[in-house]
A and B are shown apart, each in its own frame.
Chain A
Amino acid sequence: MDFSFVLGQSITQALGVTAIIYCLAAMGLNLQFGYTGLLNFGQVAFAAIGAYSIGVVVISFGASLWAAIPIGLLASVALALVLGIPTLRLRADYLAIVTIATSEIIRLLVRSIALRDTFGGANGINGKMGQAFHDLNPFHADIDLPFLTWTRQDLWVVTVGWTLIAIFTLATWLLVRSPWGRVVKGIREDENAVVSLGKNAYVYKMQALILGGLLGTVGGMVWAVAKQSVQPDNFVPDVTFFSYTILLLGGAARVFGPIVGAIIFWFLLVFVGEFLNQMIEAGWITFLLPTDVGPIRFILVGLGLMGLMIFRPQGIFGDKRELALDAR
């Protein structure tokens, strides 16, 4: 059994492209759920908008990647408005139901045969949609450290990805300690109190929904650029719930929560998976098949999400006084 391989894989993945994508999605949820108390169960829809806007604009319409990014961001704002207008005046569960439903609507639409020419049906869109970005790559060689192996392309994506996360984290920090941040936290704790102080809670909630959605969309764009392929079945509701688990793991309403959460989450997930795989290969575990490892990892995620929400809703590094959910 190759323990250093297991560890190397886990570290590479914990800092890798997937962790970056989920970290961005969780940062969006942090603004929406952590700070404002909005239960967005359709964050994956925003990621899908980001990924598909790049795939469609670059591959299906042959336009530039740099045109695709603003188009995707505009589409993301439009989606947030469509989701928010009917639901943000209603109870929290309506937003949850409508967002998860919308994420499935979008997935079913892009995988439909009728729209195959634009969205590629179940096969999705494949092609060099991130080429314009990879052309700027300043790195000339792959990286192969003892516990860290990335190709030249991944190294470039990872560098830019973590830089983006650093910028957005700084922006989040500035935002939540501003008057705007105090109002949205007030909405989370007691919406009526905020309304009675003359604030338009609806507008603030909408702004949080839009900003959080934009972060998810950037995550989707990183996905499309890094993997050069977008497929509808990558954007299932479970992606949203993985992001929730990451947020709660790191600590909701904590600026660094999503970063810490994403690194720990992907380290543990890959570690458990690779460790079990190696044990099965080495013949130490005989009652499991290699195909059982996937479901076991998901079961752990599910149990983790339940356990965190029940016992430490503020997350591992969160502050219980900060997050008193469910004032209503």
Chain B
Amino acid sequence: MAFAPSAAAAGTAIVGTLKGPDGSALVNVSLTAAAEGFTETVVSGSDGAFRIEVPKGGTYQLTVDAATLPTGITFSKAADQDRSILVLGGEKKVLFTFASGADGGTATTSSFTWARISQLLVDGLFFGILIALGAVGLNLIFGTTGLTNFSHGELLTLGAFTAVVLNELGLNLIIAAPIAVALSAILWGWGQNRILWKPLRRRKTGLIASMVVTIGLAITIRYALLLFFGGSPRSYQQFAGQSGLEFGPVSIPPKSIVFAILAAIAIAATVFWLQRSRIGKATRAVSDNPALASATGIDVERVISVVWILGAGLAAFAGIYLGSTQDVTWNMGQRLLLVMFAAVTLGGLGTIYGAIVGALVVGMFVQLSTLFIPTEMKTVGALFLMIIILLVRPQGILGRRERVG
């Protein structure tokens, strides 16, 4: 199936203004944005502004031809010359800071502008909420069944593709998204547990063996999606190229705001449900001690079913958001899996609050780390943070002080 760039994405562009350390515009500087199968070079105008139209959201490599910079002007941060830019649809504003060659050393601090930090904080918060949606499900499933699910990323991908199918059948994304979440919860959550994990629990397949099974499942799902939907990225027909709303120095597309609010409500509802409802309390009891819970008359299998439904629903929600801000690809969930694990490990395996706190910390950390390290390496920072936490506090920030060895 061929990929047709949707007309709605026409407003998608990388924009910015190049200004020297004294505030003067830098004219005729050559910039190139490149991605797979796409390259575009522009030069900055008389006001130093540039605009590179890109076909769709995604990651682009933005390079500046240093030879075209006026003499005596250098980058305050060498990494700015060549960095990968994540375009979420709409206009992506890119900030550059320059120094005059003589005092390049002292000007380094100027990249820590409040504008940049506040934008990164907001991006980090949104990214954190997105991770939290996945991490909560991951942690609930781990808590109740002990299974470390390496195919949880594929639950995001399956949710996003379910919405793609409904969307291409003609349903507006606003209608398609909730239906896709419900369908995913039943098909990929309840169904998966029913067909695969329940029989395996009955066979008394061990946890290590089950972990290897999740790997096999992840590979199978990923390549089945590649087979049926092809490798080209898809995007939803609505809200593809939304321009950001300006809040002072911060620019956010409206769809992100709507999503973040809905996601926060979903997470809050999950927490409330765990604390107050009968089945929620039963879930916590099973997490605590399955044998004891079973002995007190709790139907453990029913609790596990509910947890799978909830986890898959939340993951599908995350997948659809990720798909609407970037694009829907067969390996989108896999790329987020390790970040979700970092969040869960950071907060504490098996604890619901831990997953939320861990996700927010990881989201912020990933975005803010781009102040110091190249953007392409931001995931490395999160994974590194996870390993450090394991060294000093293996149970995670909010984990119970039990022996995890």
Contact = CB atoms under 8 A, between A and B. Distances in A.
Decide if the interface of chain B is mainly helix, strand, loop or mixed: helix
Contacts of A248: 212
B179 interface: no
A309 B209 contact: yes
A94 B374 contact: no
Decide if the interface of chain A is mainly helix, strand, loop or mixed: helix
Contacts of B349: 93
A86 B205 contact: no
Contact of A104 (B203, B217, B379): B379
A95 to B, nearest CB: 10
Contact of A86 (B218, B341, B373, B391): B391
Contact size range, B: 35 or more
A92 B405 CA distance: 8
Interface residues of A, number: 48
B209 A101 contact: no
B211 A39 contact: yes
B380 interface: yes
A90 B82 contact: no
A302 B218 contact: yes
Given A39-B208, A295-B223, A112 B374 contact: yes
Nearest to B382: A101
A89 B338 contact: no
Contacts of B342: 101
Contact of B215 (A114, A241, A295, A310): A241
A108 interface: yes
Nearest to B219: A302
B148 interface: yes
A309 B216 contact: yes
A148 to B, nearest CB: 30
A89 B222 CA distance: 33
A310 B404 contact: no
Interface string A66-89: 000000000000000000011101
Interface in B278-332: none
A304 interface: yes
B220 A325 contact: no
A31 to B, nearest CB: 16
Nearest to B230: A291
A256 B374 CA distance: 45
A299 interface: yes
B390 A303 contact: no
A102 B380 CA distance: 9
A105 B378 CA distance: 10
Max count, chain A CB within 10 A of own CB: residue among B219, B227, B379, B387: B219
Interface of B: 79, 82-83, 148, 150, 200, 203, 205-209, 211-213, 215-224, 226-227, 338, 341-342, 345, 349, 373-374, 376-377, 379-380, 383-384, 386-387, 390-391, 394, 404-405
14 contacts: A92-B207, A94-B345, A94-B394, A97-B386, A114-B79, A238-B219, A245-B216, A299-B220, A302-B216, A302-B217, A305-B219, A306-B216, A310-B200, A310-B209
